[in-house]
A and B are shown apart, each in its own frame.
Chain A
Amino acid sequence: MESLGELFTYFLQNLINALQRGSFYAVISIGYSMVYGVLMLFNFAHGDIFMVGTYIGFGIATLLLAAFASILPGWTIFIGTVVITMFLASWIGVFVEVAGYRPLRSAPRASAAITGLMIGIIFETGILIMLGAKRLSFPPLMESVTYNIGGVFLTNVKVMIIIISLLLMIALQFFIQKTKWGMAMRAMSYDFLAVPLMGVSINIIAPLTFAIGAGLASVSGILYGQAYPILDPYMGVIIGWKAFVAAILGGRGSIKGAALAGYLLGFIEIFVATIFPSTLRDLIAYSIILLILTYRPRGFFGMEHSTKLRL
Chain B
Amino acid sequence: MELARKFKEMFSTVPMIGWLLGILVGVLIEFYWGYDYISYYLGLPKIPVLFGALIMLKEPLMIPGAIGYDLIVYVIPVFLVARVTTFATNPLATFLEKLPLIVSVLIHLVFFYFILHLWSGINDYRELVVRLTMVSIILTISINVINGYQGEFSCSHPGFMAIGAYVSSILTLLLFTNDKIFGEALLPAYLGPWFFPIALVLGGFAAAIGSLLVAIPSFKTRGDYLAIISLAFMFIVKSAVENLNAIGGARGMGGQGEFAPLWVIFIWTILAIWIIHNFVTSILGKALNAVRDDEAASESMTVKTRKTKMTAFMFGAFWAGVAGGLFAHVLAYINPGMFGINRLAEILAMVYFGGLNSIIGSIVGAVSINVLGEALRPLELFKWIIIPLILIFVMIFRPYGLISFKEFNVKRMLRAKSKREQGA
Task: Please say whether the chains A and B touch (CB closer than 8 A).
Answer: yes
Question: Which of A's residues lie within 8 Å of B, judged by CB?
Answer: 36, 42, 100, 103-104, 106-108, 110-115, 117-119, 121-122, 124-126, 128-129, 237-238, 241, 244-245, 248-249, 252, 279-283, 286-287, 289-290, 293-294, 297-299, 302, 306-309, 311
Q: Which of A110, A121, A297 has the most CB of B within 10 A?
A: A110
Contact of A125 among B229, B294, B385 (CB under 8 A): B385
Given A117-B345, A126-B385, A287-B236, A294 and B221 contact (CB-CB distance below 8 Å): yes
Q: Which residues of chain A have C-beta atoms less than 8 A from B153's C-beta? A: 42, 110, 113, 311
Given A121-B388, A290-B229, A290-B232, A107 and B395 contact (CB-CB distance below 8 Å): yes
CB–CB A282/B238 < 8 A? yes
Q: Which of B228, B236, B239, B345 has the most CB of A within 10 A?
A: B228
CB–CB B236/A286 < 8 A? yes
Given A121-B384, A125-B381, A241-B231, A293 and B225 contact (CB-CB distance below 8 Å): yes
Any chain A CB within 8 A of the CB of B348? yes
Any chain A CB within 8 A of the CB of B349? yes
Any chain A CB within 8 A of the CB of B284? no
The smallest C-beta distance from B358 to any residue of chain A, in angstroms, reads: 14
Given A117-B345, A289-B228, A309-B222, A108 and B356 contact (CB-CB distance below 8 Å): yes
CB–CB B392/A289 < 8 A? no
Contact of B224 among A42, A122, A280, A289 (CB under 8 A): A42
CB–CB B225/A241 < 8 A? no
CB–CB B349/A117 < 8 A? yes
A282-B236, A294-B229 given; 5 more Cβ-contact pairs under 8 Å: A100-B392, A106-B399, A115-B392, A287-B232, A294-B221
Contact of B388 among A103, A119, A248 (CB under 8 A): A119
Contact of A290 among B217, B223, B227 (CB under 8 A): B217
Chain B, interface SS category: helix
Complex: A124 Cα to B383 Cα, angstroms = 12
Q: Which residues of chain B have C-beta atoms less than 8 A from A306's C-beta? A: 223
CB–CB B225/A297 < 8 A? yes
**A–B Cβ pairs within 8 angstroms, 18 of them:** A104-B396, A114-B353, A118-B388, A126-B385, A238-B341, A245-B228, A249-B228, A279-B243, A280-B239, A283-B243, A289-B229, A289-B232, A290-B232, A293-B225, A293-B232, A297-B222, A307-B223, A311-B151
Given A114-B348, A115-B392, A107 and B232 contact (CB-CB distance below 8 Å): no
Given A111-B400, A125-B384, A282-B235, A309 and B395 contact (CB-CB distance below 8 Å): no
Q: Which residues of chain B have C-beta atoms less than 8 A from A308's C-beta? A: 294-295
Any chain A CB within 8 A of the CB of B220? yes
Complex: A59 Cα to B130 Cα, angstroms = 45
Q: Which residues of chain B have C-beta atoms less than 8 A from A287's C-beta? A: 232, 236
Given A104-B395, A122-B385, A283-B239, A110 and B352 contact (CB-CB distance below 8 Å): yes
Q: Which of A237, A249, A298 has the most CB of B within 10 A?
A: A298
Given A114-B352, A293-B217, A280 and B228 contact (CB-CB distance below 8 Å): no
Given A124-B384, A297-B217, A248 and B224 contact (CB-CB distance below 8 Å): yes
Complex: A125 Cα to B389 Cα, angstroms = 12
Complex: A281 Cα to B238 Cα, angstroms = 12
Any chain A CB within 8 A of the CB of B194? no
Q: Which residues of chain B have C-beta atoms less than 8 A from A118's C-beta? A: 349, 388-389, 391-392, 395
Complex: A118 Cα to B386 Cα, angstroms = 10
The chain A residue with its CB closest to the CB of B227 is A248
CB–CB A293/B236 < 8 A? no
Complex: A112 Cα to B401 Cα, angstroms = 11
Q: Which residues of chain B have C-beta atoms less than 8 A from A282's C-beta? A: 235-236, 238-239, 242
Interface membership of chain B positions 81-95, coded 1 if the CB is closer than 8 angstroms to chain A and 0 otherwise? 000000000000000
CB–CB A293/B399 < 8 A? no
Any chain A CB within 8 A of the CB of B308? no
CB–CB B391/A114 < 8 A? yes
CB–CB B399/A108 < 8 A? yes
Residues 341 to 357 of chain B near chain A (Cβ within 8 Å): 341, 345, 348-349, 352-353, 356
Q: Which residues of chain A have C-beta atoms less than 8 A from B396's C-beta? A: 103-104, 115
Complex: A117 Cα to B388 Cα, angstroms = 8
Complex: A125 Cα to B376 Cα, angstroms = 15
The smallest C-beta distance from A230 to any residue of chain B, in angstroms, reads: 20
Contact of B221 among A122, A129, A297 (CB under 8 A): A297
CB–CB A245/B232 < 8 A? yes
Q: Which residues of chain A have C-beta atoms less than 8 A from B224's C-beta? A: 36, 42, 248, 252, 309
Any chain A CB within 8 A of the CB of B7? no
The smallest C-beta distance from A99 to any residue of chain B, in angstroms, reads: 8
Q: Which residues of chain A have C-beta atoms less than 8 A from B190's C-beta? A: none
